[in-house]
Chains A and B, each alone.
Chain A
Amino acid sequence: MKFKKLLSMVTCACMMITACAGLTGCSGEDEQVIIYSNADDEAVECMKNTLDSNGYEGKYVFQSFGTSELGGKMLAEGRDIEADIITMSSYYIESAQSESDMFTNLTFEVNTTDSYPSYYAPFLANQGAILVNTDVLIEQGLATPTSVKDLANPEYAGYISVVDIQGSSTAWLMIQSLVNEYGEEGTKEILTDIYKNAGAHIEQSGSGPIKKVRAGEVAIGFGLRHQAIADKNDGLPVDFVDPTEGNFTLTESLAVVDKGDETKELAMEMVQCITEKGRADLMNYYPVPLYEGETADSNAISANSKTFAEPLTVELLEKHRNLSESCK
């Protein structure tokens, strides 16, 4: 008697657990291509529109993540990842590929102006710039900075916000511009003073500075150029400055996960579709040319765009991270 009751209790619990496990087991939409992305809203919207207008509507699901979550997932799950396509910062895709060989080679021609590995296709480039809150600058009687080096000026102590390269690769855009212009030794000096000025406003998230500039918490920040443009167009007292050291870029790319025999053909088609038909749309927000035949609108892109001399690899990032850590 006692045992029977107990048995029923245990069975009951087991059934409940299997029931909720089963909830996901049956899905009739297995044909859908799953796309994991760390891209901004605008970029995802562009990609969706491109896919929809080319007959792929309803054949895919987009799932957005923060860079760090998606990065963690990629490195932890490797080929077991649920996604068929991943859109992510290029150096991250490279690092995941070297770690777990998880992407398959693209089966179509990629006409980029620069050369990229055979397993991904870039679809946009983010450009760094100095962000300012014009109201706060006037309020505090601060001069508008013209270079990244200016941010080391003691006058800006407490008024600037920058990104920590430990937390987000947006910081890399700033460090690249410094290393390129002043060398590693010079960068060390400048960066030490910038961190001193930023104090509590060294952000772990790439969008930290734009948030603080937007909220008026600081007068000046270093972040993504197109975010400042969007805020400015929204009528906020936000503006951007192209630093004299130049604006550097990081690309984001599309890659198809190698799932052996289960790799979906449709996934490859979609990546081809986005890179071939979606760029015009994407360039409205991210105006940096990447492919043959593309030209940048002179107003939308910095006249002083630059590329770092060395290829942007995880090793280089690690080197720059150590440099940054020594400045704290």
Chain B
Amino acid sequence: MKKLKVSPQKTILIFSCLLFGFFLLIPMVTILCKSFYGDDGVTSEYYSRLFSGGSIFTSLLNSVLISALSGLITTILAFIPAYAINYTNISRKLKKVIASLVMLPMLLPTITYGFAIIYSFGKQGLMTNLLGTQLIDIYGTAGLIIGFVIYTLPISFMLINNTMGYVDKKFMIVSRMMGDSKIKSFLTTVITPLISTLAVSFIQSFTLSFTDYGIPAALAGNVDLLATRLYNEMLGSLPDFNTGSAVSIIMLLPSVLSIILISSLNKYNIRYNKISVIELTKNKVRDIGMGIASGVIIACVLSVFAVIFIVPFVEQWPYKMNFSLEHITEILSDSSLMSVYKNSLLTAVVTAVIGTLVVYSLALVSARRNEHRHLGKIPDIVSLVTNTIPGMVLGVAYLLTFKGTFMHNTFAVIIICNIIHYFSSPYLMMKSSLEKLNASWETTAKLMGDSWIKTVIRIITPNAVSTLLEVFSYFFVNAMVTVSAVIFLAGTKTMIITAKIKELQHFANFNEIFVLSILILITNLLVKGLVRLFAAIRSKKGKTV
């Protein structure tokens, strides 16, 4: 036994290299080949077809500008509730409510958003009717930005809130005692430790918006975006996988930029030896101001979604406005629905369990001090790459790669696709929270004679439980709401609920779409509730290191 020198970290890396090799590299190389290889051999025809006329540059520019603006707005907006939770003396209960409500949009499929915005702010929408006037023209840039901000706000908030929790607030007092001005103190003790997270949040929001199709499909109007172009090439009236592949390669460009940006920001990461619990200074103006600001943000987001809970209970929106349970009963009595729902649950649970394991083990290797840490760049790069691959591209790539193999039409392929597709955010979250833990634990434990695995199980894991649970529910919730990739992978016996929604979208049955959205929402709320309950019981049982 002694001769076996395979360290656990190395095994994790080998295992993940196999995973990413098979399920990320090969499918993406398949797409890359498709973009260069046609019926007549190697050709650059598909790229030249794309670039002739120059309209691809307009699409690219539109996509970049709108996504960047959305990313900026989202990050600023997400900062406010996160600040209210971590740096004010608002009551704990209220803080919990703020945190839960900000995350709410994440529990619904994006496919619902477009409809919700049209039926809220459109000419016959709920808000338009209530206010008596149409606030904004929702088709085009404004609508897209609203959609993207709502879509990315929860993720941005999650990242910022998570890091803020690990920032040692004691330094605020130190800074004030040193005589720093309020602004300088805010910049050095709040913003500086957050810089890399704020950048990550911006990049995350940017790429999510950049690669989303659901919202542009409903609201793009005549704004030409790269995502709509990709969809039209891949799945328009004349599908052309070759040119489509070329578009998706172009869509990967931002990942190159992200990699440069993030690695240059990494040096700003600050590590605290311990996080001291301090009494925040009393400041009523700050507390009330931040509370109201958070409230306004939440109210705006929720007002868009109100329509989901109203339309299905109305006989025929907006013409027959009487209460009716007809749509609800119709949907819930659909016999095939229960098996589809069960499939969704199964997929989500397995995705969450395996996804959490994969993310945790990789984050351990890349974030904690060990002899393989330089190899931790591999998951870093993977996370940046997966982040920028549109679900649709991933789905088609899987389809082209695994057709005819034993993986075809299985739950396994859907689950792995989910894990790869949603790898980035939980990985970054996990990594940043592990980085914030004291770096010397492993060294100390090693000196004490503990193996790495023992240290992980005994010391690191108990301190990472809250993030682990968040990662678990992140995977679960996203597996429940994802549409873009799995639509290509779900077979007759592996049909899941969002694929059903997509089917209904095809028939324009928004009543049913809203009912199923509510069903997904309830499921996600239940799971989040259970996870939180578990965390609460655990933290009562005993304080960790």
Which residues of chain A have a CB within 8 Å of any CB of chain B? 1-3, 5-6, 10, 13, 16-17, 20-21, 23-25, 27, 34, 38, 40-41, 61, 63-69, 71-73, 75-78, 80, 82-83, 165-169, 171-172, 199-202, 204-205, 207, 210-211, 214-217, 234-237, 314, 317-318, 321
B175 within 8 A of A: no
Chain A residues whose C-beta falls within 8 Å of the C-beta of B416 in the assembled complex? 17
Which residues of chain B from 107 to 154 have a CB within 8 Å of any chain A CB? 118-119, 122-124, 137, 139-140
Name 14 interchain pairs, CB-CB below 8 A, sorted by A. Answer: A1-B1, A2-B451, A5-B453, A6-B6, A13-B15, A20-B415, A75-B239, A76-B400, A77-B403, A77-B404, A216-B124, A217-B123, A235-B316, A236-B316
Q: Which residue of A lies closest to B219 (CB)?
A: A200
Question: In the complex, what distance in Å separates the CA atom of A24 from the CA atom of B406?
Answer: 10
Chain B residues whose C-beta falls within 8 Å of the C-beta of A321 in the assembled complex? 237-238
Q: Are B318 and A204 in contact (CB under 8 A)?
A: no
Q: Are B235 and A24 in contact (CB under 8 A)?
A: no
B221 within 8 A of A: yes
Q: What 1/0 flags go to B234-253 for Cβ under 8 Å of A?
A: 11111101000000000000
Question: In the complex, what distance in Å separates the CA atom of A237 from the CA atom of B124?
Answer: 14
Q: Are A207 and B507 in contact (CB under 8 A)?
A: yes
Stretch binding the partner chain, chosen from B77-85, B350-358, B365-373: B350-358
Chain A residues whose C-beta falls within 8 Å of the C-beta of B491 in the assembled complex? 24, 63, 82
B399 within 8 A of A: yes
Q: Which residue of B lies closest to A64 (CB)?
A: B503
* Most chain A CB neighbours (cut-off 10 Å) among B6, B222, B406, B451: B222
Chain B residues whose C-beta falls within 8 Å of the C-beta of A3 in the assembled complex? 1, 4, 6
Q: How far is the CB of A30 from chain B (nearest CB, A)?
A: 10
A166 and B217 contact, Cβ closer than 8 Å, known pairs A73-B488, A235-B320: no
With A16-B350, A17-B416, A215-B318 known, 7 other A-B pairs at CB within 8 A are A63-B491, A66-B505, A69-B488, A72-B488, A76-B241, A76-B400, A321-B237
Q: Which residue of B lies closest to A215 (CB)?
A: B124
Q: Which residue of A lies closest to B137 (CB)?
A: A200
B533 within 8 A of A: no
Q: How far is the CB of A280 from chain B (nearest CB, A)?
A: 23
Which residues of chain B from 346 to 391 have a CB within 8 Å of any chain A CB? 346, 350, 353-354, 357
Question: In the complex, what distance in Å separates the CA atom of A205 from the CA atom of B228?
Answer: 12
Q: Are B411 and A21 in contact (CB under 8 A)?
A: yes
Chain A residues whose C-beta falls within 8 Å of the C-beta of B319 in the assembled complex? 235-237
Chain A residues whose C-beta falls within 8 Å of the C-beta of B396 in the assembled complex? 72, 76
Chain A residues whose C-beta falls within 8 Å of the C-beta of B1 in the assembled complex? 1, 3
A24 and B410 contact, Cβ closer than 8 Å, known pairs A72-B488, A73-B399: yes
Q: Are B238 and A204 in contact (CB under 8 A)?
A: no
Q: Which residue of B lies closest to A81 (CB)?
A: B403
Q: What 1/0 flags go to B426-463 for Cβ under 8 Å of A?
A: 00000000000000000000000001110000000000
Q: How far is the CB of B272 from chain A (nearest CB, A)?
A: 30
Question: In the complex, what distance in Å separates the CA atom of A136 from the CA atom of B357?
Answer: 56
Q: What 1/0 flags go to B1-20 for Cβ under 8 Å of A?
A: 10010101001000100000
Q: Are B231 and A204 in contact (CB under 8 A)?
A: yes
* Most chain A CB neighbours (cut-off 10 Å) among B137, B452, B506, B510: B506
Q: Are A24 and B237 in contact (CB under 8 A)?
A: no
- Residue in B123, B399, B510 whose CB lies within 8 Å of A216: B123
Chain B residues whose C-beta falls within 8 Å of the C-beta of A216 in the assembled complex? 123-124, 318
Question: In the complex, what distance in Å separates the CA atom of A231 from the CA atom of B315?
Answer: 14
Question: In the complex, what distance in Å separates the CA atom of A23 from the CA atom of B494?
Answer: 10
Q: How far is the CB of B133 from chain A (nearest CB, A)?
A: 15
Q: Are A20 and B412 in contact (CB under 8 A)?
A: yes
Chain A residues whose C-beta falls within 8 Å of the C-beta of B346 in the assembled complex? 20, 23
Interface residues of B, count at CB 8 A: 67
Question: In the complex, what distance in Å separates the CA atom of A216 from the CA atom of B318?
Answer: 9
Q: Are A34 and B222 in contact (CB under 8 A)?
A: no
Q: Are B502 and A66 in contact (CB under 8 A)?
A: yes
A217 and B118 contact, Cβ closer than 8 Å, known pairs A71-B235, A165-B237, A317-B237: yes
Which residues of chain B from 51 to 109 have a CB within 8 Å of any chain A CB? none
A82 and B217 contact, Cβ closer than 8 Å, known pairs A66-B503, A236-B316: no
Q: Are B503 and A65 in contact (CB under 8 A)?
A: yes
B492 within 8 A of A: yes
Question: In the complex, what distance in Å separates the CA atom of A170 from the CA atom of B320?
Answer: 29
Q: Are B228 and A204 in contact (CB under 8 A)?
A: yes
Q: How far is the CB of B121 from chain A (nearest CB, A)?
A: 11
Q: Are B411 and A24 in contact (CB under 8 A)?
A: yes
B408 within 8 A of A: yes
Question: In the complex, what distance in Å separates the CA atom of A210 from the CA atom of B510?
Answer: 13
Chain B residues whose C-beta falls within 8 Å of the C-beta of A63 in the assembled complex? 491-492, 495
Q: Are B404 and A80 in contact (CB under 8 A)?
A: yes
B407 within 8 A of A: yes
A82 and B492 contact, Cβ closer than 8 Å, known pairs A17-B412, A20-B411, A236-B319: yes
Chain A residues whose C-beta falls within 8 Å of the C-beta of B201 in the assembled complex? none
Chain A residues whose C-beta falls within 8 Å of the C-beta of B408 in the assembled complex? 77, 80, 82
Chain B residues whose C-beta falls within 8 Å of the C-beta of A80 in the assembled complex? 403-404, 408
* Most chain B CB neighbours (cut-off 10 Å) among A64, A73, A76, A314: A76
Please list the 3 inter-chain residue pairs (A to B) with the smallest Cβ-Cβ separation, ordered nearest first: A200-B221, A200-B139, A68-B235
Q: How far is the CB of B416 from chain A (nearest CB, A)?
A: 8
Q: Which residue of A lies closest to B216 (CB)?
A: A204
Question: In the complex, what distance in Å separates the CA atom of A201 from the CA atom of B118?
Answer: 13
Chain A residues whose C-beta falls within 8 Å of the C-beta of B506 in the assembled complex? 38, 64-67, 205, 207
B266 within 8 A of A: no
Q: Which residue of A lies closest to B213 (CB)?
A: A204
Q: Are A24 and B505 in contact (CB under 8 A)?
A: no
Q: How far is the CB of B28 from chain A (nearest CB, A)?
A: 15
Chain A residues whose C-beta falls within 8 Å of the C-beta of B510 in the assembled complex? 211
Q: Are B8 and A21 in contact (CB under 8 A)?
A: no
Question: In the complex, what distance in Å separates the CA atom of A40 from the CA atom of B504?
Answer: 10
B178 within 8 A of A: no
Chain B residues whose C-beta falls within 8 Å of the C-beta of A214 in the assembled complex? 508
Question: In the complex, what distance in Å separates the CA atom of A165 from the CA atom of B238?
Answer: 9
